[in-house]
Structure 1
Amino acid sequence: MWFDSHAHPSAQGWSDELDAMREQGVGGFVAVGTSVESSTEMVRLSRELRQEHPELTIGVAVGIHPHDADSASKESLETLEGMIKENSEIVCGVGECGLDLFYEYSNPQHQEAAFRAQIALAKRFDRTLVIHTRDAWEDTFRIFDDEGVPDRLIMHCFVGGPLEARRSLDYGAYLSFSGIATFKNAEDVRQAFLVAPLERVLVETDAPYLAPVPLRGRPNHIGNVAITGSFLAELRGIEPTKFAGRTWQNTIEVFQLQHKDR
């Protein structure tokens, strides 16, 4: 079974989504928030799906994305803290959080402050930290050095090369690869995947974004993690079923999820 380590599911269209997951052998996912509002929705939706589909393994990460960092007030961070306390059995991660200096939709100083606050939150509640970093590797590593890192962290939608991969691994990070790895111009990402130990690799969709080739340009779906995973398995010369099992176990371990064996 495949496990999507990072998705932003919608409450709409779940019948079709579940059919596709079953067809492609996907048995779990982590629903990731990007703001207080979306994190609240991820918790609600995931609770509902857990009840209706106990065969699925589902976790939630709550956080404030760097694009939304201008709204990261003391009150919003306290709300995230409350979500973790009140939903401790399902909230397995903090994030996605970090830095995005490519778009700079939020003030970089606000991004950094929100990032530092969420690192502290992950450490305080022993939750996995889910990192978004774009055009900000040196600043991300500087903040890691300043704050220290939680016991478990993930470089989500990894878009660096082998150098950034090795440096991330030195901090104890898991590297999560999305459909970007299938893109023609993503050779650095593929090389990063090839230097990563299999026990530190995850696969994700980032749905509804970043659909893999040959679906690029369309809305992405959780079931498509099987396409990316199979592509990556071929790069390493591994049977897809073996790679699916390895990345399933990695996701369970890094998020410390309760699950059914696969």
Structure 2
Amino acid sequence: MKSDRPAPEPPAPLAPLIDAHTHLDACGAIDPDGVRAIVDRAAAVGVGRVVTVADDLAAARFTVEAAHWDSRVFAAVAIHPTRANALDDATKAEIERLASDPRTVAVGETGLDYYWPGKLEGCAGIEEQVEGFRWHIDLAKRLRKPLMIHNREADHDLLAVLLDEGAPPTVIFHCFSSDATMALACVEAGYILSFSGTVSFRNARELHEAAKLVPDEQLLVETDAPYLTPHPFRGAPNEPYCLPYTVRALAQLRDQAPEDLAAAATANAERVYRLPWA
């Protein structure tokens, strides 16, 4: 991700933390040294482990490689909903192989994105997205791994497909950005809501209200780096080391001590991703 703004200064350390959703390849990592450098910067401020997430086949291969290069890195693999039109039989077979790897802790990011069809050339249509989402739900259930969801302007249909297919035991709404009504529906269904830098944006009032409603045991924190850099660095390049900024903003919204929120989110990440490695 290119930006004219300088990278944020490292925040005051806050530990322990796990970045529940990031994209190390998009942050510029291309080899073991690059991965190590990013994770070292994160570890220096308390973010000791990261889940790096794929959105296409090349990224899926990279995430699994990265998870084998560094024991602090874990993988999630899927085809992004906007690319669901690339889900031919060969791609499905390769995604299933990569998702079966012991270092892969989730199937994702998958879901529905109703913002880009008609705006982005080559974007998968809604029917293709729904078909791809159904396939990923089945894969997560067969592999007994969490389902990591991307949702953009598709609240109703996402919940309907999950209900129709039967959701896996663990469903994670990555970068939750919906309102309080959707948050309550997800909480009632037992889903996990992961909050990114968007929760620190001053104009995200509906998200602020939603974030207050999530029980401690159903909450994760993430960067979605290199995107969604938290306030006051919006527009600058993001990395996992920026996670404490988001956690402190979220804790302030929820009237919690940042240390308590960090501890809860870390325990949840260890549980839902089944992370045995400290």
Instruction: Give the TM-score band, short-chain normalised.
Output: over 0.9
| Equivalent-residue separation in structure 2 for 1:66 and 1:137 (angstroms) | 14
Report the identity percentage. Answer: 34
Residue in 1 that maps onto 2:58: 37
Cα displacement (A) at 1:181? 0.5
The CA RMSD measured in Å over matched residues stands at 1.3
Q: What SS does the corresponding residue of 1:24 show, helix, strand or coil?
A: coil
Count of aligned pairs between the two proteins:
252
Is structure 2 residue 97 aligned with structure 1 residue 79? no
Residue in 2 that maps onto 1:53: none
Verify the 8 A CA contact 1:100 1:136 in the aligned structure 2. yes
Q: Which runs of 5+ in 1 are unaligned?
A: 51-55
Cα displacement (A) at 1:18? 3.4
Verify the 8 A CA contact 1:81 1:121 in the aligned structure 2. yes
Is structure 2 residue 45 aligned with structure 1 residue 24? yes
Q: What SS does the corresponding residue of 1:225 show, helix, strand or coil?
A: helix
Q: Which runs of 5+ in 2 are unaligned?
A: 1-15, 118-122
Is structure 2 residue 211 aligned with structure 1 residue 211? no
Is structure 2 residue 199 aligned with structure 1 residue 181? yes
Cα displacement (A) at 1:15? 5.4
Equivalent residues in 2 for 1:72-111, closer than 5 Å:
72-85=87-100, 87=101, 89-104=102-117, 105-111=123-129
Residue in 1 that maps onto 2:140: 122
| Equivalent-residue separation in structure 1 for 2:90 and 2:43 (angstroms) | 40
Higher relative helix content: 1
TM norm structure 1: 0.92
Q: What SS does the corresponding residue of 2:275 show, helix, strand or coil?
A: coil
Equivalent residues in 2 for 1:230-245, closer than 5 Å:
230-245=248-263
Is structure 2 residue 235 aligned with structure 1 residue 220? no
Quick one: which of 152, 155, 162 aligns to 1:134? 152
Is structure 2 residue 187 aligned with structure 1 residue 169? yes
Specify the code of the residue in structure 1 equivalent to 2:17.
W
Verify the 8 A CA contact 2:223 2:229 in the aligned structure 1. yes
Q: What SS does the corresponding residue of 1:96 show, helix, strand or coil?
A: strand
| Equivalent-residue separation in structure 2 for 1:46 and 1:219 (angstroms) | 22
TM norm structure 2: 0.87
Verify the 8 A CA contact 1:7 1:208 in the aligned structure 2. yes
